[in-house]
Structure 1
Amino acid sequence: ERALAEQLESMRKRKRKLVDPLQFEMSIASEDLTGYVPQFAWEMAPASDAQKAALEKAGICPDEIGCAGKASLLMDKIAKRRAEGLATPKQIRQLEGRGFRRVGEWTMDQASALISRIAANGWRTPASIDPATYEPSREARAARVPTLRLGA
């Protein structure tokens, strides 16, 4: 019984660390994911164990994925976002949970920089930041310091 209780507890903790696929779909504003309808027979099959493992590794909770086609499309979206340098599912969840908006459009570097700033502040959003109106590009421009070139 103790082993089963420990296993259930670890499953509960694992799910808290993963992102709900629907939340991710809405965050990245992907119409093809939210309105997904399987077209081929293979797409209607349940997601494979390999697909579930890949989604879990990417930070998505695989239990909510209904079919292999949607799992495949979701993995493609994640790979494309990674190649473009956009925020990861876990970064999006972390920042949206704190009230930041349109995080799905941020770059990985912008999200990482803000998460690092929040972590340095004891995991509290700094008082100088209003999550509802925060724009990372504007913040980055304000943080830049003009350089002076001497001589030449």
Structure 2
Amino acid sequence: MKTNCECLEKNEEWHFEEQLECWYAIRECASCTYYWEGPDHSKTNRSSPPLTGIVYKPNDAADKVDSIRNRPGQFLVYCYDEHGRYGSPVGFNEVKDIFQFCELNKFSHKKIKVISDDQINVLVQYGSYVFPKEWTQYN
């Protein structure tokens, strides 16, 4: 899945999504008919807006909503951008919830790490799940 195009004349808009507590992108290009929208979980700092496109500043006076980043969880999921930067983690307790989150976000982030007790439990890079080399014998 392509989450960006290379055209110079594309339109890109960003706004801060309160419930996800991260920046949300809408990208559209008339020349290559490209369209994508979704959250960027690697950009969670409200006061550090993205550097490209039109940025709609968040309203600090807006009513606060429950964010997914405020949930406690045994597993912490970190999403990385193309420069290796990551945002605040999302906490999960259920494996099915972790899998669903990774499936939804695996193509829009360069890397996703699921960590518990300071150990990487799941690693997704470039849209694919990465398994330890010792496990390749079972393929």
Instruction: Name whichever structure is richer in helix by fraction.
Output: 1
TM-score by shorter chain over 0.5: no
Larger radius of gyration: 1
Q: TM-score normalized by structure 1?
A: 0.27
Instruction: Name whichever structure is richer in strand by fraction.
Output: 2
Q: TM-score normalized by structure 2?
A: 0.29
